[in-house]
Chain A
Amino acid sequence: MSYKDVLNKLVEEGLLTPSGEVKPHRPIYVFESGKIRELFTKLIDLAGVEGFYVSTIVGTDLMKDGKVRLDYYVVFLPEEETIVFRTFLPRENPEIDSLLDIIPGVLSGECETYDLLGVVFKGNPALKRGFFVPKDVYEKGIYPLRKDAKV
């Protein structure tokens, strides 16, 4: 199925809500953080294992709203269109299920987001604090990319 049909089907099932776009022409779809595994399993079923790849995972600290925003940038083949899947997590205790067993390519993105922002990916055995951040920073329990962290 082409990527547009896949996305329309997921919108109909209520998993995704379209909400604007990131320039230039990358549509954003918001989903609930608890349903991430369901969303990606359906994506693999509908588009096939060779139909897409996860390009980047971006975490942003929205300190004023009290949330952490997590974006999954997924590129659908063969058209090579980039779609953004966006979710919001509470800032005090950001946790989300890990996708490592269904898509092994998210290993680097999840490890980095944990180390820099403190988002816990439940079920990922490779998460550890010294992945990128040097020792003297993580021993103080600082997550460097948070807006109130002084590094």
Chain B
Amino acid sequence: MAITKIIEIPYSLEIPVGPQHPALHEPLLLKVYADGEEVVKVQVYTGYNHRGIEKPAERNSFYRDIFIVGRVCGICNTVHANCYVRALEQILGIEPNNRAKYLRVLAMELERIHSHMLINAVMAEIIGFESLFMNIMLDRERIMKAKEILTGNRVLADYMMVGGVRRDINDEKKNKLLKLLNKTEKRVKYYKQVFMEDDTILKRLVDVGIITKTDVLKHSLIGPPARASGVKIDARASDKYDAYDEVPFNVVVRKEGDSWARMILRWDEALESINMCKYILENLPSDGNPVPDEKRLPRRFPPGEAFTRVEAPRGELTYYVMSDGKPMPYRVKIRTPSFNNIINTANVYLGHSIADVPVILVSWDPCISCMERITVLDLTTGEKKRMHLKELARGGRKWVSPRYSI
């Protein structure tokens, strides 16, 4: 069985928004060796997944780092800022009041909803179902509007500050948010039904990329890929940070372990998040001003170290902050969930056909917003062809017209 083709997939990790790019841009290369249609070997060559921030973080003050760290990822920027701010609060020994905790959870859950809608839309686009992709993105705009009402900006919500949040909400905003959430809930239930019953999606996604429970724990996979294989880990339920000890929610677990289970799990989590947001809006405590006075926060931090975990939409995100008494941190270590999920799973692709590689890759929710092109090197004739990931998902055949997707 000779290897006749080498497919190199350069894969660019880009931060979607922000004029400031503290992280380096480096491509991730998945060298996939295929025999005919079947994948026999995969090598992962990575660049930087959101790092290059650890060195500048040691040269800026603690408060400037809050904004720098919030720009590591565009889609999950509130959870990055929240994890860093909680680490600072642990070192200082401050705790925010209840209203601030509830508002923080509201911002993070809104982000979870829009992130899950985004990755489901990308999965629909990858398998060629473009009309579904467009419709999900249209409904996602309501959540972006909700984020704008709450934090002042659609994507990058610079909402977290040591001791609370940076803005408060009044009754008028609360009513607007409730109306938007009610409309979105109906649409999310509809899309979950589409994913459960549509023939094309079932044929492409079921039994593709199965991982067992032992594999998940040996390879340190986290987040929805782990929960879809029966492992019940959720940093919100175990650490109970901010208001998660008072807001009721369920940890969603499935046991199939394939790509379909991972996507359905994300819709379930989106529904849970909508319920949490509605509970928070109806039961907001009013025990004081959630906005701390930023002019009175301490400049020098006492020496100490803190390790905080947060449940990002993609998995467990951890921050380690160490301070030694100066106004700048000594060490900041960020471990994003995509770091574990992408690098440690090079062996899941084996045995599947080439068209399954993008489906498996998107089902771990890699934190990028655009996947780039792929070079197909035909070893027998020596010619190189560049293809879009979408063309590869259609089996690499060039005569499939891009207009007829299904």
Contacts and interface: CB of A to CB of B under 8 A. Distances in A.
| A, B from the same assembly | yes
A56 interface: yes
B219 interface: yes
Given A23-B91, A106-B220, A82 B55 contact: no
Contact of A108 (B306, B308, B339): B339
B139 interface: no
A75 B24 CA distance: 30
Interface stretch (B75-83, B196-204, B315-323): B315-323
B307 interface: yes
B318 A49 contact: no
A94 to B, nearest CB: 16
B281 interface: no
A52 B330 CA distance: 29
B214 A105 contact: no
Given A80-B238, A82-B307, A56 B213 contact: no
Contacts of A80: 233, 235, 237-239
A78 B231 CA distance: 9
Contact of A82 (B48, B309, B339): B309
Interface of A is mostly: mixed
Nearest to B320: A58
Contacts of A82: 307, 309
B306 A23 contact: yes
B238 A84 contact: no
Interface in A116-136: 116, 131-132, 134
B336 to A, nearest CB: 10
B351 interface: no
A1 interface: no
B397 to A, nearest CB: 34
Nearest to A61: B331
B306 A24 contact: yes
B55 A151 contact: yes
Contacts of A109: 335
B373 interface: no
Interface in A57-78: 58, 60, 71, 73, 75, 77-78
Contact of B217 (A26, A53, A116): A53
Interface in B87-118: 90-91
A145 interface: yes
A55 interface: yes
Contacts, number: 98
Given A56-B318, A73-B318, A103 B305 contact: no
B28 to A, nearest CB: 11
Contacts of B395: none
Given A49-B218, A55-B318, A80-B233, A107 B307 contact: no
A11 B304 CA distance: 25
A92 interface: no
Contacts of A15: none
Contact of A26 (B54, B307, B322): B307
Interface residues of A, number: 39
B35 interface: no
B304 to A, nearest CB: 7
B239 to A, nearest CB: 8
B3 to A, nearest CB: 21
B41 interface: no
B217 A108 contact: no
B10 interface: no
Interface in B191-230: 213-214, 216-222
B343 interface: yes
B54 A107 contact: no
B51 interface: yes
Contacts of A141: none
Interface string B151-194: 00000000000000000000000000000000000000000000
Contacts of B304: 23
Contacts of A55: 220, 222, 309, 316, 318, 335
Nearest to A26: B307
A53 B231 CA distance: 11
Nearest to B306: A23
Contacts of B217: 49-50, 52-53, 77, 105
A14 interface: no
B333 A107 contact: no
Interface in B231-249: 231-233, 235, 237-239
Given A55-B335, A104-B219, A132 B26 contact: yes
A121 to B, nearest CB: 15
A103 B46 contact: no
A131 B48 CA distance: 8
A53 B220 contact: yes
Given A22-B307, A55-B318, 4 more contacts: A49-B218, A58-B331, A82-B309, A105-B218
6 contacts: A24-B306, A55-B220, A55-B309, A105-B218, A105-B221, A116-B51
Leading 5 A-B pairs by shortest Cβ distance? A105-B220, A80-B238, A108-B343, A23-B90, A105-B219
